[in-house]
A and B are shown apart, each in its own frame.
Chain A
Amino acid sequence: MSKLLKAAQAGTVESSDILISLMPAEAATGIQVELVSPTLQQYGKHIKNLIIETLVFHGIEDVQVYANDKGALDCTIKARVKTALERAGE
């Protein structure tokens, strides 16, 4: 899967969670991540990179991501991205 079939979401906006929204994007537009987080200064770059890495790992090339973070750890971010991807590919 290099492209999303449809928009999808996973996660919540509860404390320690992250809400990941994926939207299909035109070919060759790449992975665009918009991140809202209380730890933007401390972990913003890291979280964006982690989202991109997870998407790339699953073969995604073009997607728009909106991430509303509430202090999620890496394991949660990966799980939510993966779930959103599965939902987008159904």
Chain B
Amino acid sequence: MKNSIGREIPDFIPGLGKVTGFGGAFAYKPVGRTAGATLTTCLPRADKLLASIETAIDAVGLKDGMTISFHHHFRNGDRILNRVVEAIAKKGIRDITLSPSSLNTVNDALIPYIEQGVITAIETSGARGKMGRFLTEGHLKKPLHIRSHGGRAQAIESGAIHIDVAFLGAPACDRYGNINGIQGQSACGSLGYAIQDAAYADQVVAITDNLMPHPLFPISIPQTQVDYIVVVDSIGDPTGIASGALRYTKDPKELLIAKYAADVLDYSGYLQQDFSMQLGSGGASMAVGRFIKTKMLERGITGSFGVGGMTGVFAEMMEEGLFKMMFDVQSFDIPAIDSIKKNSNHLEMSASYYANPHNSGAIVNNLDAVILSATEVDVDFNVNVITDSNGVIMGASGGHCDTAAGAKLTIVVAPLLRGRLPMVKDAVQTVVTPGETVDAIVTERGIAINPKRLDIIDKVKHSGLPIMSIHELKDIAYKLCGKPEAIGLSDEIVGVVEYRDGTIIDVIRRPIL
């Protein structure tokens, strides 16, 4: 069948079963009740502390075919995921479904366990590096199941993802299992993704290198959800967890794109007193903050709140009084971690609060504007952030489609060319975010507004900005590069991209490389 954006999706996908095709950003109406953890009890004076990860695997009764989850707050400094899978493999357990909130290049070390059949399914936000290429080649038994951050929260709450055991790295953990992410040598700031897993997993194992006296303060994940605690020497490498302050790019092309994006936001009329916004990571989208800040100061306006993966750049604006508060699902750099530690208006939030479409209202619904990066976009305004131009998995869905759906104004920034490759095309390789939720594409050579946003088109008409149709923008790229030949694809499906509502927006077919 073809889904509503014209992508060919099989009704039945080997390894996944029967699937529902995407039918529009808000078409799907959820039914049923939320899922939940199995009932349990913990007797007074019981000791949750276990000697090792191996003991914990035994204690939770991990078996072939179970689903285990992890958070990715330690990014490339993570020392938990690889370590736990190694221990599972040694015990001869197989056929595990890995369900981490995302994968980083440090997790390339898992490749041998996929080859050995220890891991046979992965559901996550995306994959990069060697792992991305490996999964693209189809070595995993089931197709890689890609969900957005909001989509993962939705799937966990609906039961589409059933986590048997969550192994959660805990920068600070007391003897009864209260956890936060802001204290200790492996502090990572917000634990937004872990909060979700802890609440819905049947069993939760906290792994910490910083066991603190009970009760811990503050508490992000409560003791009521944590079954076991394991103390290890180190759960993360601080240099890989967070970089020093992420600074604005100095690349002139990215700065130009950022300036155009800030101008589009401005002319569209959303840059008003008490506006709210999210800035994606990536050079150009982050740099938009700099231009917005200048505009806010010039006009003497202040914003209401910021959302997202947070950086020190945003924290700085909040501390200067330019924003009232920040909702943080993931803290990207050391200044952001410091800020969540000291600023009471810098709030930690769960993935569900952030972006889940099937609750009574995630914070993305309150966003005025979001600026997002893209790998490729097409003339239907669809966005790809998962595969490169050769069809190889190299990115993550993240909160892309969630924020695009929620915000009143969604601006996607991308260079028009990468090397010789045009980034505005007739059709993107893989759709992650549907064009109906994207309002403007901003490149260094031109800006295209979604034709359904007549209101914005009208407002930017006389701005002097290089406004053009998306087809004109594509033509500029094709004129410089030539029309790219389509890459060869096999019929084998190596990945499925789920929209935030659980329907399938696209599939990734193995490219013939």
Contacts and interface: CB of A to CB of B under 8 A. Distances in A.
- Note whether A and B contact each other (Cβ less than 8 A): yes
Interface of A: 15-16, 38-39, 41-43, 45-46, 70-74
A9 B419 CA distance: 21
B390 A41 contact: yes
Interface of B: 389-390, 418-421, 480-482, 484-485, 487-488
Given A16-B419, A39-B421, A73-B420, A45 B485 contact: yes
B484 A70 contact: no
Nearest to A72: B420
Contacts of B390: 41
Contact of B480 (A41, A46, A73): A73
A16 B480 CA distance: 12
B419 A43 contact: no
A73 B482 CA distance: 9
A-side interface mostly: loop
Contacts of B485: 41-43, 45-46
Contacts, number: 37
B42 to A, nearest CB: 56
B480 A39 contact: no
Given A70-B419, A71-B420, 14 more contacts: A15-B419, A16-B419, A38-B419, A39-B389, A39-B421, A39-B484, A41-B390, A41-B487, A41-B488, A42-B421, A46-B482, A46-B485, A72-B420, A73-B420
Contact of B421 (A45, A46, A71): A71
Give the interface centre of A15, A46, A72 by most chain B CB atoms within 10 Å: A46
B360 to A, nearest CB: 46
B132 to A, nearest CB: 16
Contacts of A41: 390, 485, 487-488
A39 B419 contact: yes
A38 B418 CA distance: 11
Contacts of A39: 389, 419-421, 484
Contacts of A72: 420
B419 A42 contact: no
Contact of B481 (A45, A70, A73): A73
B482 A74 contact: yes
Contacts of A71: 418-421
Contacts of B487: 41-42
Contacts of B418: 71
A74 B478 CA distance: 12
A41 to B, nearest CB: 5
B330 to A, nearest CB: 31
Contacts of B480: 73
A52 B487 CA distance: 23
A80 B491 CA distance: 40
A43 B390 CA distance: 12
Nearest to A16: B419
Contacts of B421: 39, 42, 71
Contacts of A15: 419
A72 B481 CA distance: 9
B481 A43 contact: yes
A15 B420 CA distance: 10
B332 to A, nearest CB: 26
A43 B482 CA distance: 8
Contacts of B389: 39, 42
A72 B482 CA distance: 12
A34 B484 CA distance: 20
B429 to A, nearest CB: 11
A36 B390 CA distance: 15
A46 B482 CA distance: 9
The winner among A42, A45, A72 for most chain B CB atoms within 10 A is A42
24 contacts: A15-B419, A16-B419, A16-B420, A38-B419, A39-B389, A39-B420, A39-B421, A39-B484, A41-B488, A42-B389, A42-B420, A42-B421, A42-B485, A42-B487, A43-B420, A43-B481, A43-B482, A43-B484, A45-B485, A46-B482, A46-B485, A71-B418, A73-B480, A73-B481
A43 B480 CA distance: 12
A72 to B, nearest CB: 7
B328 to A, nearest CB: 35
A39 to B, nearest CB: 5
A68 to B, nearest CB: 13
A48 B315 CA distance: 51
B376 to A, nearest CB: 12
Contacts of B482: 43, 46, 74
A71 B390 CA distance: 14
A24 B480 CA distance: 32
A15 B488 CA distance: 25
Contacts of A70: 419
B486 to A, nearest CB: 8
Contacts of A45: 485
A48 to B, nearest CB: 13
Residue from B389, B421, B485, B487 with most neighbouring chain A CB atoms (10 Å): B485
B500 to A, nearest CB: 31
| Of listed B420, B481, B482, B487, residue having the most chain A CB within 10 A | B420
Contacts of A42: 389, 420-421, 484-485, 487
A72 B419 CA distance: 7
Nearest to B391: A41
Contacts of B420: 16, 39, 42-43, 71-73
A16 to B, nearest CB: 6
